[in-house]
Structures are given as C-alpha cells and as structure tokens.
Amino acid sequence: MSEEMSASEQSPADGMSAGTGGPAEQPSPRRENGKKNPWVIVITIVVVAALIGGAAYVMTIGDDDEDDIDDIELTVTMSPDPIPSVPAGTEKSLSVTVLADGVVVGKTDGVEYSWSVTPTTLGSLDFFAQTNTTFTAGVEAGEGVVECEVTYEGETAAVNSTLVVNPPFLDSVSVTPSAKTLLVDQEWNFTATTIDSTGHVISDATIEWTVAGIDVGDYVLNTTTGSAVTFSASVVADVSLNATATRGEDVASGSAAITVTSEPTDIRTVDYLWYGMFEPELGSWYDDRWSGLGQEYALTDSYPYLYLWCGDEHSLEGDIWIYTMMRMDITGRNMPELNMNDNPEFLPQFGDTTGGTAELDWYLQYVTREEAEAKLSQNTYNWYDGWYVGWSGTITLDEQAAKSVLGVTTTQFNDFDTWWASNSGQTTTDWQEWLMEEAGPGRLDIFPMYTYHLEFVLFNITAEKVGEHIVVTLDTISWGMEALMTRWMGEAFMPTEWYFDDFSLIASIGPEMTDLDVDTAIQYAMYAEVSHEDDGALIWGWEGLMQDYVPSDLEHPESLFDPYDGKEYVVWGPGNDNFGEFLEYEYTPGAWNLSDGETLVFEWPAGDQLFFDHDPGNVDGLVLNTDEIIAPMTVAYTEPLPSEMPSQITIDHDARQIVYTGPFDMWTWSKNQTTHQNLSDEWDRLGGVMPWGVPMIEFKADIGGLQVAELDDRDDTVGDEPDSCSQAISTAPDLTTDDASDEVKATARRPAEGD
C-alpha cells in the first residue's frame, strides 16, 4: 500500500493551522497570473534562533524585477524541538510545519516531504513522504540526524535535528506461569524473564523474590534470588509471588497470582449437543459450487434442507450421497488443555513471555457472491467458486496477553496506538504467515482433508487500546480457514473433525484454563442410507468422522486416511451407482472418545420426516434411482447399544434424545466388543482398521407410521445433463403428506438452464 493511501495522510497537520488542529482560515498563497519574465529565485535564509538539534528556515521567493516583486516567505519547523533522547526500542512522533507568508500549507497545497534518518542503523521511520512520521529507535545506542526536506513551488528547504538513542532500559519482568492453582503442599516452579525496551530478553539483571498474602511460616521458597524459584504453601491462601529485577538504575517487577486450595475446585466439563436435524439452511454458495465445480447440489430450498454430494476427482463416477446438516453446540468449562501459559492454540505468540487472558469472539461463514464482489478485487472475485470462507471477529487481550501474542513491551503497551501505527504492517504479515504455517505440512496440514493449501484472498487486522486492554479485529476471506479451525479444535480437545457452517466461537483463554462456547452448523453431518444392520430399514446415518480423504505424499507426509487407502467398504446409499457393492474408502472414520466430565448428546425431530429408499431404474424420485418415504423418526440401532453400557448410554424416546457419558474409550470398545458380529468381522477383514465411525447411530423410519410421499405431475424422463450426477437430479415438484400437520414440506429445486 502506498503512503498516499495511509490513514496518516489525514493528519491534522495537513491543511491545518499550526498548533490549533483546526482548518487554516486563510487561503493558500499562490502566484499572481500574468508574469512574463522568467523566474529567478532569490533565497534569503534567516536563522531564527540558535537551536540545539533543531532549525527553522525562512525562504524568500521572488523574481529579479525589483519593480515587480511577489515574495513568498517560506518557514519550515520541526516538532518537537529539540528532540528528547529516545531509549532504544521506543518510539517518538515527529512532524514538520510549513508556513508560506504565515499561512500553513501542506500536502494538499502541493508541499512535498522527504524524511530521512542518518545513520540508518539508528532506527527507522514509518512514513517518508508525509507531514508526520514516527521514529522507532533501533536496538543499540547511538547519535545521528533526522531530516525532513520540503519542496514547495519548485524550491526546496531542509530542516534537521540531532537525534540521540540511549541504551535499552529494563522494561518489564514476566513471571511464568502468571497464574497457578496449587494444592496444599504442592510444589511448582516459577521463572522470571526480564525484558528490555527493545522487547529482547536480557540476562544481566539481578532478581529478588518476595511473597505476599501469606505468613512467612506457611510457605516454602527454595531461594530468594535468581531467575527461577520453587514455591509451595502449607495453608489455603491467595498468594502473590513477586519478582523484582534491578539493572543499574532501572527497576522493574512482575508477579504470579497463586491460589492454594485444599482440593480441586475447578472441574473440567465439555458438553457436545447435536440437534436441529434438517434445519440449517443451504446458502447461495451451493448454487456456485454446483455451477462451477459440479460437486454439490441443493435438492430442497425449505425444510428438510437436503443436498447431493457428487464426488470429485478422487471419486468413482456415480458415487453420490444425499446429505443434510445438523447443528452442534459445545459448552466447555475449566479446560486446562487450552491456556495462555502453554497452549493458546488459536493464537500466535510473537513475544518472549506467556500468560494473561485473551477473549475471543469469532464468526466463520462462507461468503456469498455479493459479499465477495463488494470486498474483493475484480481479479480475486473472478475466482469465486462458493468455497470462499469469511473469518472475522475480535481478540481482546489484557496487558500480559498482549505481551505474549503481539510481543509488545510495557512501554509499548502503555503507548499502544503509537506502536501499532509503526508495526501494524509487520504484525499483519507475521500473523498471516503464522496461520499458513499452522495449516501447512509442518503443523496441522489441511491438504489431506481440503486438497488445497490455506490461501487468504483478504487479510485485514486492526488493533486499538480500549481501557487497559488491546482489541484486535480480524477481517479475512480465504480458501481453507474452516479446515484449520477444525484442526485446531481437534488438536486441542475435540476427538473428531467436521466442516463448519455458520460457526461462532466465544472463548475466554486464561493463564491456566479456558471457558468456551461454540454454536455451529455441521456440513455432511448425516447421510441417507439403507441399514445393513437393521434388516434394510431406511435411515439417516450418523458416525464419528475425521476429515482426511486423500493419502499422504512427499509434500504432505502425514494423513489420517493412510490406513484406509486402497481398502473397501460396502455402499448402502440410495441412488448411489455402487449400491450394495464394494467401493474404495473415500473418507476416514473417527472415534468420539469421551473423557471424564464430558457428554455427547443427540436429539432427533418429532413428526414425519423424509427418508430415501434405493429403487434402481426409478426416474420419478427426487434423486434418480430412489423412492421417497415419509414416516416418523425413531432410534432402534446404535453402536454401541445402551444395553452394553447402561451406565453410560441412555435413550429417551419421549424426549427424543441419546446421551453418552464419559469416560468412554469408543475406539477400544469398537475393536474389542463381541456383541456386533458384523463389526468384528469388518475389523478382521480390514486388517485391524476401524470399519466405520463410533458411535454409529441409525435414525430410522418408523414403519408403523409409514406413508408414501405424494409426487404428482412428475416428468418421467431425466433431462439431457452432462454427467451422471446431474442425471441423478430429478425434476420432482413439491413433497407433501396427507396430514397437514406433518413436518415434511420440502420444495424440490431444479437445475437452472445451463447448469
């Protein structure tokens, strides 16, 4: 971005009167018209005062005709004057004021500015061609000159000032961990890190430790000096462990908040709730996914919201599946696996210290074509394919978290807006690069699940200080951020992976633990199937999933799909050309293992629902080779069954709810169980690989209330479409039932002309 596009261009100094911050009252001076003689510049430099490190210049500009002189007195001054010495690593705002005949002139009047600092090792300037600039001192002491050359009406004047950079000073002390809960008599190690004004760790400071909030005889500190101590307490108390550092005349201190308790009080809980089957609406991006890639087609535009997955280059022709979405809520409390001391997971740590509290308020959703057109360049917009995903929201950091995430010092935190003005560009670049590294082969590699890398087409970060917090605001559009989000959650706490839609995350990541709330729709949550376990019942199936579906290679050496590469399973999806036949795996099953304090809950809807049966040759269905059946929904078969684990699995048919309670090692149960013979046989056939996800739930049509859908006035032929997936889409009209109170009121969608 050029400096002409910078917000600093709107500085009050441009076009404003000196010292007032308001608009100049007098018009800008200009030459009179009608002069015919060539201009000859007569410059008189008047030294206003003998200034220490500063100067003001007065220029008289006129022609050589003594009888016709139109002089302009040009005065240039620098502020502050003189410039106070600047400690290494800190910043100083500088500006110049240009007066022509006593009237302020600026960039809009044609004034040109050129800032420089000599030697360049002294520090850097954020702007070179503006009225204002910010000097950031380097990491070492030194002396030099800062200069601003000004050009107006074709003439140039320069003003300079001596600039002294002092050695770095001791800025702050960070104690790690910054907060800790200990049991009585439990020992813990604490470390003090000393930071100078350049943000670098220094080792030549003397550190002394003290304890407050508890009597001397009730705690043990193995030493009172040095960079690390071991602390324990014999009584319940709230303690402040303080580290005071001294370096020459500089003194700084930091502390850790310690809670000593007789028994654990913060019990970790995570509750997963799946609900809203068929309810999440299908965004307009499904139309673009169909028209551009031919992969997904929205079958209905009202409840029940259904769509057809048509495969990709890794799928066999005719490998189609009928899907619907569900919603999932996650409520996590006191989660120690996410913390600012050791593992913030979702955040970078550009600083040398840890700790603090970060509050996240994020939203992630696919971008409509209209949104993309409004926010992206034409060239980037032209690549719109329905998979651009927007990720936006805020990150609110307290001082310690700001030091950890952004790498600011205490001085920079106190004057954050000045620091951000100079460092926003580099921080934005660093943050984007960190995210791409997170999504790459060295870390969580999204390629095996996304078959593409994380690529941002819009990436904006702004930050400001609000009270005693820094609020960072994100506004991004990318290919792949939804994949990184599920990888983050999977690494931190969630045992399975999903594609999110309409996703919100609110989290408070503290020094030791996190509270979070997630509310999201889940793509590919359930699929229509004919049960191979329950005597051919028509079902909507759910199973635990991971998202990798292509094997590893040299560039991407790890994939969860590797154990399934080349292995086969039997397809039972209605309308699939491979129905009843073996097909190579194109997905990775997952086990939803539950820890102590975790629950996994599923709810299913009341009333009649839409199911699909496989009917080869039928061209009258909503999907080719299928029949629609409308019936109430129930649950009769799951793996595992409630009877196998009665204390950990319950089904309440009145409440239409299944509850799984941890601790529960689902993977081990699947491998070792003996109740389900087909499951055991498949483990053996696949050579020790889990055949399908667990738990596995069949939400089936209750044949006691079976109805055949009314499908009137249907065209008996399928249109001349370009591929088998297109041919699977019927020209079916509305779906209704005989009973007006029933739930099924879907409206079938038809491919638009030319789709």
- CATH number for position 93: 2.60.40.10
Q: What is the C-alpha to C-alpha distance for residues 694 and 684, in angstroms, rounded to an integer?
A: 17
Q: What is the C-alpha to C-alpha distance for residues 601 and 590, in angstroms, rounded to an integer?
A: 17
Task: State whether the Cα torsion 278-280-283-288 is positive or negative.
Answer: negative
Domain boundary among 109, 140, 166: 166
Same domain, 529 and 602: yes
Residue 69 φ/ψ, nearest 5 degrees: -105, 130
In a domain? residue 373: yes
In a domain? residue 535: yes
The answer for residues whose C-beta is within 8 angstroms of residue 112's C-beta and 6 or more apart is 129, 150, 151, 152
Spell out a b/e string for 396-420, using b for 16 or more CB atoms within 10 Å of the CB, else e.
Answer: bbbbbbbbbbbbbbbbbbeebebbb
Same domain, 138 and 230: no
Cβ–Cβ contacts within 10 Å for residue 663, how many?
11
Q: Is 300 left (phi over 0), alpha (psi -120 to 50) or beta?
A: beta
In a domain? residue 315: no
Q: Which amino acid is at 10?
A: Q
Instruction: Look at the block and give the residue holding tokens 């991006």.
Output: 285
Contact 499/482 with Cβ under 8 angstroms? yes
Same domain, 572 and 717: yes
Q: Which amino acid is at 722?
A: P
Predicted pLDDT at 389:
98
Q: What is the C-alpha to C-alpha distance for residues 216 and 195, in angstroms, rounded to an integer?
A: 29
Contact 235/200 with Cβ under 8 angstroms? no
Residues paired with 152 in a beta bridge: 155
Cα-based angle 589, 590, 593 (whole degrees, multiple of 5): 155
Q: What is the C-alpha to C-alpha distance for residues 701 and 655, in angstroms, rounded to an integer?
A: 17
Q: Is 603 left (phi over 0), alpha (psi -120 to 50) or beta?
A: beta
In a domain? residue 336: no
Q: What is the DSSP string of 425-469?
A: HHHHHHHHHHHHHHTSTTTT--HHHHSS--EEEEEEEEEEEETTE
Quick check: helix, strand or coil at residue 688? coil
Predicted pLDDT at 2:
40
State the DSSP H helix or E strand holding residue 528, giving kind and residue range, or none if neither: strand 514-530
Cβ–Cβ contacts within 10 Å for residue 713, how many?
8
Cβ–Cβ contacts within 10 Å for residue 391, how many?
22
pTM, full prediction:
0.79
Predicted pLDDT at 244:
97
Instruction: Look at the block and give the residue holding tokens 């307490």.
Output: 233
Instruction: Look at the block and give the residue holding tokens 């793996």.
Output: 639
In a domain? residue 384: yes
Write the DSSP symbol of residue 32: P
Same domain, 40 and 138: yes
In a domain? residue 283: no
User: Regarding beta strands 72-79 and 170-176, do their DSSP bridges make them parallel or antiparallel, or are they unpaired?
Assistant: unpaired
Write the DSSP symbol of residue 571: B
Task: Find the DSSP H helices in 653-732.
Answer: 666-672, 677-685, 724-727
How long, in residues, is the chain?
Answer: 755
Same domain, 88 and 228: no
Same domain, 437 and 525: no
Spell out a b/e string for 60-97, using b for 16 or more CB atoms within 10 Å of the CB, else e.
Answer: ebbbeeeeeeeebebbbbbbebebeebbbbbbbebbbb
Domain boundary among 166, 199, 221: 166
The pair of structure tokens assigned to 175 is 């104690």
In a domain? residue 734: no
For the chain (length 755 residues), average pLDDT per consecutive 10? 36 33 31 32 32 43 47 84 90 91 90 93 90 90 93 87 93 91 94 91 94 96 96 96 95 94 88 98 94 88 94 72 98 96 96 95 98 96 96 97 96 93 95 98 97 97 97 98 98 98 98 97 97 86 97 97 97 94 95 97 97 91 91 95 94 97 97 96 97 97 63 32 51 43 44 37
Residues paired with 182 in a beta bridge: 260
Q: What is the C-alpha to C-alpha distance for residues 436 and 469, in angstroms, rounded to an integer?
A: 27
Domain residues for 223? Answer: 170-261
Q: Which amino acid is at 723?
A: D
Same domain, 700 and 561: yes
Instruction: Look at the block and give the residue holding tokens 């309440």.
Output: 652
Domain boundary among 166, 182, 211: 166
Write the DSSP symbol of residue 533: T
Same domain, 152 and 193: no
Q: What is the tally of structural domains in the chain? A: 4
Predicted pLDDT at 706:
52
Predicted pLDDT at 155:
81
Same domain, 596 and 629: yes
Same domain, 525 and 669: yes
Cα-based angle 360, 364, 365 (whole degrees, multiple of 5): 160
In a domain? residue 297: no
The pair of structure tokens assigned to 160 is 């300079």
Same domain, 556 and 455: no
Same domain, 85 and 215: no
Cβ–Cβ contacts within 10 Å for residue 655, how many?
11
Q: What is the C-alpha to C-alpha distance for residues 653 and 635, in angstroms, rounded to an integer?
A: 8
Range 675-682 contact pairs with CB under 8 angstroms and sequence separation of 24 or more: 675/640, 675/641, 675/644, 676/533, 676/639, 678/532, 678/533, 679/639, 682/569
